[in-house]
A and B are shown apart, each in its own frame.
Chain A
Amino acid sequence: MSWVPYRQGVTPVPHPSTYVRVTGVGGLVSARVRAVLDTGATVTVIPTAILRSVGAYQLTGRTARCRGYDGATALLPLFEVDLAVDDPRWPDDLRVRFERLLVLGVTAPSQPDGDSAGASSRASGSAPEVLIGLDVLAAWRLHLDGPQSRYSVE
């Protein structure tokens, strides 16, 4: 079993993260971005800036209703992309490619209509990050070793 260290130094609490490659239609353009393993996300969330840069698409009316702590609900667009783990620290056979994955597109909070789901990009203070949700995490067995600030995947 190989261990991957948590990401440290960016936030007060180290967290499990990896890198993914997001690919748009036709495989013309792709982007490798950092991704947080987020068991609190039902589906994977990708900043719209990334979706736009690779050329994703939204099928008619495909939306998802999400709730905020204040009780307000928001309809967010769902996009289709191909996504694969692109992290040399992961075993080769686990770098599964998820084709035509439906992901939530969220505009970064720095934008005028920003919402709170892009908290990861705000917190990291740098490039936007993907939140890998349970829809993708269900493909693996994850072992979170909090005391050692590391995780393993199998």
Chain B
Amino acid sequence: MAHWIRLVDDNQRTRAAMRRLLERHGLRVREAAPGAAAGDADEADVVIVEEEQAASAAGEPQAREPAPNDHEWMQSLMADDEAYERMLPELLQRYEGQYVALYRGELIGVAKTAKQAALRGIEALGRPEALFVARVGEPRPEPLELGMWIGAPRQVVIEE
């Protein structure tokens, strides 16, 4: 399946540079012409497509909802942890030993590896996202004790 690169603006220089770079690495590149039917099967490794076309392209599911801001997302991640605990009895019956991906309390990916489960979750969402993934039945690990000063100043800002 070809990978799709979305260009928000029709920037010809960016498009040309991207194509050269990809082809230099041996990838077969196809540009989706404006107005062309998206979703046609082709043998390209990468398809460069404009934003309005990408939404209907084959292999690129549409985003089901807009991405939340970082604050909402972090709350959602913590809620997924709790949702996993609630769903565990049912998950154990159906998916013990497999990996599941959750997003906003909903099961959106199941697979034999964590990566595959996350990938299926992203495909279901239709956009990249950092997801909660769990191996069903695996004991919860203890937090790592890093001894790291997360509040330590890494850089100094001088305000006049």
Contact = CB atoms under 8 A, between A and B. Distances in A.
B146 interface: yes
Interface stretch (B8-16, B34-42, B150-158): B150-158
Contact of B70 (A57, A59, A108, A116): A108
A112 interface: yes
B71 interface: yes
Contact of A55 (B114, B129, B144): B129
B133 A42 contact: no
Contact of B141 (A51, A56, A61, A122): A61
B143 A70 contact: no
How many chain B residues sit at the interface, stated as a range, is: 35 or more
B90 interface: no
Given A57-B130, A64-B148, A36 B71 contact: no
A131 to B, nearest CB: 7
Interface string A33-44: 000101011110
Interface stretch (B20-28, B49-57, B115-123): B115-123
Contact of B147 (A42, A55, A63, A104): A42
Given A60-B132, A65-B146, A123-B154, 13 more contacts: A11-B155, A26-B118, A43-B146, A48-B73, A52-B130, A55-B119, A58-B131, A59-B133, A60-B133, A61-B140, A65-B145, A66-B148, A113-B74
B81 A61 contact: yes
A75 interface: yes
B71 A111 contact: yes
A132 to B, nearest CB: 11
B93 interface: no
A64 B146 contact: yes
A140 to B, nearest CB: 20
Contacts of A108: 70
A57 B114 contact: yes
A13 B156 contact: yes
Contacts of B147: 42, 67
A79 interface: yes
B3 interface: yes
A28 B157 CA distance: 36
A12 B36 CA distance: 53
A68 interface: yes
A76 B150 contact: yes
B138 interface: yes
Given A26-B119, A52-B73, A74-B150, A123 B144 contact: no
B151 A67 contact: yes
B77 interface: yes
Contacts of B69: 111
